[in-house]
Structure 1
Amino acid sequence: MRGTNNYMAISSTFASWNGDGYRTVQMSRPTPNPRGEAFWNSTMGHAWVSQQTVISEIFMSVTSVSLDAAGAKLGEHVIDIGCGTGDTLLAFAEAVGPSGAALGVDVSVPMLDFARHRAAEAGLGNAAFALADATDHIFEPRWADLVYSRFGVTFFDDPVRAFTNIRSGMKAGGRLVFVCFRTMPESPWFRVPIEAARPHVPPQPPVDPTAPGMFSFAREDRLRGILTEAGFREIAIKANDVPIHGKDTTQSMAFITQVGPLPALLENASDEQRKRATEAARNALAAQIGADGRGLHVGLWLVSASA
């Protein structure tokens, strides 16, 4: 794995910014679920670190659209839920400036340590990190002007409880902004390779569409109900089709075979089945992606609400 050997120390505490300086707080214990702490500290978490540059480029438009919607302002306090390797957290730390603060929350040791390293290299002293599950992490009460997430909130085992807890750390009238996927058929960048690979692997068991995962918030009514029950107001959920910026088929496949939905499809396949499925996925993408790496999009919900 590239670029992570120096950032793997596991700590049970973290530094939290309280407006005047850092304070050390005991780490919250993550809620167990199939896409929880163990999953993001396994090879999946390491893959996100090793592919950080690729992922940043691929989700360039997603990041731009969602950060514009968040509209972080100078001096604000921002919480980034599921901040991962730090792309959006670093952007927030720069946007709010030294008079503001940005706290990144994630359950993944490799990703959070890499984000911490990137913040230090960039000289962003107003960025802090919590190795924790937002479901039961003790947030500073009424601290955040803005809570943001790029996909991270879709992995909660108990989303109502998680969003209720997140709201406890927001100022009255604070902004919640996040982006999540609609259904997989509405995201050709995922659908095309998956449909091409599926005939070459064993049949997959039915899955619960509301289970923690990339598409758990696909249903608008469920998403609105979760936020309403958690106490949020002025909820707006807008469909947005956003282009993907895979540089070429090779870069797109680097993501899809390691950190997209394809690994789950290949999990129980033989070596030969996996080879045929991967090649079919590659060919399907190559037929759709232009020389500029574009040609397919993902279907998103752009969500906003007030605490």
Structure 2
Amino acid sequence: MSDQQGPQTPPSSEPTAAEHGTGRTELFDYDAELRLHNEHLRAAARVGSGDRVLDIGCGTGRTTREAARAAVTGSALGVDVSAPMLERAMRLSDDQGLPNVTYQQADAQVHRFPPEHFDLCISRFGTMFFADPVAAFTNIGSALRPAARLVLLVWQNRDRNEWASALRRSLTPATDTPSPPPSGPDAFSLADQDITEGILTAAGFTDVTFTDVHEPVYYGPDTATAFDSVLRLLKFQDLLADLDAATAEQARTRLRATLAAHDTGSGVYFDSRAWIITARRH
């Protein structure tokens, strides 16, 4: 993407992490990274004015707040395991005066939601790490009324996501030994359409559909900002933590070069492919 103008980041009423003030920039800004993807999720969700919406893996709550604004006589509940992200989510909801938003720190795989309560469940990249996906989606399904909709945004295969392959290569020493496969669920665990449809069908969902989403991810307005942003991602911090000091510095140098090659002049972008998955509770 370095030889062409990158996409313009759409305007947003939501502040970015950098706009929160001193002491509030430690969290990686997923909202900025995924802003173009967010447009697809919102369009697919089609939140109704009276919907009760459940948002799985809500992070700092942007998708929850957007759902709440659409559900003017309904409500939105955001669930996440991260206390720091939920703290920011609650602060933003208070600042924006949204009375129909609540958040709960919980593991959606096992949390006891009110039965058959929600009209719609959404998730923006929040459902790929379930240890037992059939059990997890069965639990989520129990919180949905019959015929309620499920709308997920998940990554396609790793080799279709430049952000994953290019950034990992830059932080990993060159070796002839292939990387071992992940030991458990990873960000691409719902990439295979047949496997994922089987999971959702076994969990009690029907009418499963997949829609291709081809948008870049965004890491910042320039290379320096993108470098700091990427190193806030835990998975990349872990890669560096396993290296000695000299090798880690070489990896940082490669990372800067990789980011610079993707600096379009209007931001640092990497190609990505995702699925919008929709289904209905049986």
Task: Provide the residue aligned with 2:167 in structure 1.
Answer: 193
CA distance in 2, matches of 1:227, 1:110: 30
Are positions 1:50 and 2:26 aligned together? yes
CA distance in 1, matches of 2:158, 2:139: 29
Task: Provide the residue aligned with 1:23 in structure 2.
Answer: none
Following superposition, the deviation at residue 4 of structure 1 comes to 10
When residues 294 and 110 of structure 1 are mapped into structure 2, their CA distance, relative to the original with a 3 A threshold, is closer
Q: 2:207 aligns with which of 213, 231, 234?
A: 234
Task: Provide the residue aligned with 1:18 in structure 2.
Answer: none
Q: 2:252 aligns with which of 262, 278, 281?
A: 278
1:51-200 paired onto structure 2 within 5 Å:
51=27, 54-97=29-72, 99-199=73-173
Task: Provide the residue aligned with 1:214 in structure 2.
Answer: 187
CA distance in 2, matches of 1:201, 1:237: 36
CA distance in 1, matches of 2:121, 2:180: 33
Say which SS state the counterpart of residue 156 (structure 1) adopts. coil
Task: Provide the residue aligned with 1:293 in structure 2.
Answer: 267
Q: 1:245 aligns with which of 190, 212, 218?
A: 218
Equivalent pairs counted in the alignment come to: 263
Residue segments in structure 1 that go unaligned for 5+ positions in a row = 7-45
CA distance in 1, matches of 2:133, 2:21: 31
- Superposed CA deviations along residues 38-79 of structure 1, whole A, max 9, x for unmatched, are xxxxxxxx9xx6245x43222110111111111112111100
When residues 254 and 280 of structure 1 are mapped into structure 2, their CA distance, relative to the original with a 3 A threshold, is same
Say which SS state the counterpart of residue 304 (structure 1) adopts. strand
- Superposed CA deviations along residues 279-299 of structure 1, whole A, max 9, x for unmatched, are 102201211331011553211
CA distance in 1, matches of 2:125, 2:46: 17
CA distance in 2, matches of 1:104, 1:4: 24
CA contact (8 A) 2:37 2:215 kept: yes
- Superposed CA deviations along residues 112-139 of structure 1, whole A, max 9, x for unmatched, are 1221111111111111112111111111
Q: Identity, % of aligned pairs?
A: 32
Residue segments in structure 2 that go unaligned for 5+ positions in a row = 1-16
CA distance in 1, matches of 2:253, 2:202: 45
CA distance in 2, matches of 1:135, 1:51: 24
CA contact (8 A) 1:201 1:266 kept: no
Paired AA for residue 280 in structure 1: R
CA distance in 1, matches of 2:176, 2:77: 42
CA distance in 2, matches of 1:213, 1:201: 22
CA distance in 1, matches of 2:270, 2:126: 22
Say which SS state the counterpart of residue 215 (structure 2) adopts. strand
Paired AA for residue 269 in structure 1: L
CA contact (8 A) 1:79 1:146 kept: yes
CA distance in 1, matches of 2:261, 2:228: 17
Say which SS state the counterpart of residue 222 (structure 1) adopts. helix
Following superposition, the deviation at residue 104 of structure 1 comes to 0.6
Say which SS state the counterpart of residue 199 (structure 1) adopts. coil
- Superposed CA deviations along residues 149-180 of structure 1, whole A, max 9, x for unmatched, are 01111121111111001111111111100111
Say which SS state the counterpart of residue 306 (structure 1) adopts. strand
- Superposed CA deviations along residues 229-253 of structure 1, whole A, max 9, x for unmatched, are 1010000022221122332223332
Paired AA for residue 91 in structure 1: E
CA contact (8 A) 2:37 2:213 kept: no
CA distance in 2, matches of 1:238, 1:201: 36
CA contact (8 A) 1:200 1:276 kept: no
RMSD (Å) for aligned C-alpha atoms? 2.6
CA distance in 2, matches of 1:234, 1:93: 26
CA distance in 2, matches of 1:50, 1:203: 34
Moved more, 140-149 or 242-251: 242-251
When residues 251 and 223 of structure 1 are mapped into structure 2, their CA distance, relative to the original with a 3 A threshold, is farther
Paired AA for residue 211 in structure 2: K
Say which SS state the counterpart of residue 154 (structure 1) adopts. coil
Q: 1:269 aligns with which of 238, 243, 252?
A: 243
